[in-house]
Amino acid sequence: MTSTALPTTDELRTRARAALGTIGADVPEGDDLPARSPLTGENLFGLTAATDADTEDAVTAARTAFLAWRVTPAPRRGELVRRLGELLREHKSDLADLVTIEAGKIRSEALGEIQEMIDVCDFAVGLSRQLYGRTIASERPGHRLAETWHPLGVVAVISAFNFPAAVWSWNTAIALVCGDTVIWKPSELTPLTSLACDHLLARAAAETGAPRAVHRLLLGDRTVGEKLVDDARVALVSATGSTRMGREVGPRVAARFGRSLLELGGNNAAIVAPSADLDLAVPAIVFAAAGTAGQRCTTLRRLIVHRDIADTLIERLTAAYTRLPIGNPFDDTTLVGPLISTSALDAMHSALTRVQAQGGKILAGGNRRLATAAPAAAYTEPVLVRVDEQTDVVREETFAPILYVLTYDTLDEAITLHNDVPQGLSSSIFTRDQQEAEIFLSAAGSDCGIANVNIGTSGAEIGGAFGGEKDTGGGRESGSDAWKSYMRPATNTINYSSELPLAQGISFL
């Protein structure tokens, strides 16, 4: 199905200006960075990118602001984030408009992304009255041993196009209450959303008396990110994007003994066991695989189905895939918006050509849509592909809505297939057998950072730590104790006796 006609680029430009205007954000017009919409594939505005001098200035200002911010009491730092959360609530619809215009998300997913930002602000405000250290039993009489958490420094946040606002907020809300200052290098594909977020944070800072330089935005491509990666004054580089990017960023930050937090690609799978409730599994699978047009890091890319139910499940999925409304993401009936670019569509077609040469069979979908209405855009039917084995193309992350379907006979075999990919982000099992579910969640089960039961691989809540293992980079963001990545622990030994006993019973003098 194709939903209503697409908006024109002029209409999108007007809508983007209206959203930015309501928020109050200035657009630094120029001609070195285009702001573009995947809805039509055309440019909306030309923008000015950050120069080397801007980057230098941002790091210097962020470092100076850090010296004041780190000694501001954490609950007062939380006031800034509380105000940001209020402004996000007020401008939820405007921000969601920008997310749809720049990332192509359907309306309810764009609103969901802004809700996630509000949720993480609430979480961070609570955290601002916690940031607990521990008291540890000392082996020496009259001594106290304690662990204290201190602010870390300047944090560079490098983010991807597919969560143009939420990933920034996961990092920034937590980093700010932890006493760090933040420099944000967003994706070059989503500059307008970042201008809006930066403006709201600047407003929150002005209204709560926080230094403006607790946050700086640097628009531009990877070269701007590289400057931050190599700057020894940047204590933590939190980088979200492809595994290719992480392979470049990780070693460069490590070479200067900086810290990095890497959130990279996934190749997420779900196991569907014979006892699975298919009425629950089918919509969960379709949302996880086709939602956001397959452009979530947690998108379901591999389905590992028990042989006895494979035909039934494939039949139901095929029927669901042929009914998916594809097109204008502003239309409430649309479920699948555009891919980010025609090069993403080319990558999808290339993966499909390769998998077919390796024996894969297309079961449903895969055709381009709206090519006449919007030749520069990339609308496509999500595609379901049956494969007999996990070939090299299946083991890669293709950032598009391709779901590979494999079959298994024993749970051991399913878990081996599941873990036999380089990435380790999200995973799930659909089963009503408690023993199977527990095995999947155990140390011998899924090797991912996220492991779910009877729910898809995508759509995490902010309360848990988010991230994954292996080529996914090992970082954890958002909830649980992910805040510890944004602080440095200090161990304190306090002697309140009049003696000087040495540890390990050593005598000296």
What is the nearest approach in angstroms of ligand NAD to the Cβ of residue 133?
A: 28
Rounded CA separation 328/351 (Å) = 25
| Positions in 273-312 near ligand NAD (CB under 6 A) | 297
Please tell me whether residue 329 binds ligand NAD under the rule CB under 6 A: no
What is the nearest approach in angstroms of ligand NAD to the Cβ of residue 416?
A: 23
Residue placing its CB nearer to ligand NAD in the complex, 162 or 427 = 162
Rounded CA separation 406/307 (Å) = 9
Rounded CA separation 488/314 (Å) = 50
Instruction: Determine the interface stretch with ligand NAD among 38-46, 70-78, 128-136, 183-191 (rule: CB under 6 A).
Output: 183-191
What is the nearest approach in angstroms of ligand NAD to the Cβ of residue 476?
A: 10
Please tell me whether residue 245 binds ligand NAD under the rule CB under 6 A: yes
Residue 423, helix vs strand vs coil: strand
According to DSSP, the β-strands at 234-240 and 154-158 are parallel
Q: Where are the beta strands (DSSP E) in 324-413?
A: 361-364, 368-369, 379-380, 383-386, 402-408
Residue 428, helix vs strand vs coil: strand
Rounded CA separation 390/383 (Å) = 17
| Positions in 417-446 near ligand NAD (CB under 6 A) | 425
Residue placing its CB nearer to ligand NAD in the complex, 262 or 487 = 262
CB atoms within 10 A of CB 346: 13
What is the nearest approach in angstroms of ligand NAD to the Cβ of residue 96?
A: 18
Instruction: Determine the interface stretch with ligand NAD among 5-13, 23-31, 263-271, 325-333 (rule: CB under 6 A).
Output: 263-271
The string over 237-253, giving b where at least 16 C-beta atoms fall within 10 Å of a residue's C-beta and e elsewhere, is: bbbbbbbebbebbbeeb
Instruction: Determine the interface stretch with ligand NAD among 223-231, 403-411, 452-460, 481-489 (rule: CB under 6 A).
Output: 223-231
Please tell me whether residue 448 binds ligand NAD under the rule CB under 6 A: no
Rounded CA separation 238/147 (Å) = 24
- Interface residue with ligand NAD among 40, 55, 169, 187 (CB under 6 A) is 187
Residue placing its CB nearer to ligand NAD in the complex, 229 or 304 = 229
Residue placing its CB nearer to ligand NAD in the complex, 164 or 365 = 164
Quick one: three-class SS letters along 20-41? HHHHCCCCCEEEEEEEEECCCC
**Could you tell me which of 153, 315, 141 has the C-alpha nearest to residue 234?**
153
Please tell me whether residue 397 binds ligand NAD under the rule CB under 6 A: yes
Please tell me whether residue 211 binds ligand NAD under the rule CB under 6 A: no
Please tell me whether residue 205 binds ligand NAD under the rule CB under 6 A: no
Please tell me whether residue 240 binds ligand NAD under the rule CB under 6 A: yes
Rounded CA separation 22/169 (Å) = 20
What is the nearest approach in angstroms of ligand NAD to the Cβ of residue 479?
A: 13
Please tell me whether residue 242 binds ligand NAD under the rule CB under 6 A: yes
- Interface residue with ligand NAD among 150, 203, 222, 484 (CB under 6 A) is 222
Residue 94 dihedral angles phi and psi, to the nearest 5°: -65, -45
**Catalytic residue positions?**
263
Q: Which residues of this protein are in contact with ligand NAD, per CB under 6 A? A: 158-163, 167, 185, 187-188, 221-222, 225-226, 229, 240-242, 245, 248-249, 263-266, 297, 397, 399, 425, 472
